[in-house]
Structure 1
């Protein structure tokens, strides 16, 4: 499926894994940013990735808890960076250019590189 094909947001985009141009896991789609207006077509402007994307979808007290546990970082991936949508969202760029690998890089430093890791 190409980015300009019609799709169902909840069933076909939200919670899909994101893979960058180097086939590295780069997060999941947590929310979408829509654009358009009265009398104009609605379009997906960006994919929102990270716990900060939950802020508008949950009560303030619950987001306070999420922020304490996971932080509130959020990366905005312009929809023009999407190459393909299927079982995963494939990007045209590397994750670093879009701010998607910050957390993974921090966690990688904590994990010992032994065995299967």
Structure 2
């Protein structure tokens, strides 16, 4: 439950930072939806290696905090998002989202200093 709250809080901060960078709330909302929700949806339609790569490198990796099944690398099985299994551990998934948020915050701070001086 704490992980889900952290996930939503980080997505909100990401949206705020992107809104500051873009100076356009509709554009920021669109980019956040594309980065966070669209990979989750596309993972069902794409081949497993592509879906695995996408769920490791996009902010959608943070949804691993909600996984219902533990994935053991030594056991050969299909780890599918639709069955509640994600390629990253919950902590690593949140770390991917934290990196995106940190980059967006740095860009937002730079943009504010540059434009609002």
- Whether the TM-score (by the shorter chain) exceeds 0.5 is no
Normalised TM-score (structure 2):
0.28
More helix by share: 2
More strand by share: 1
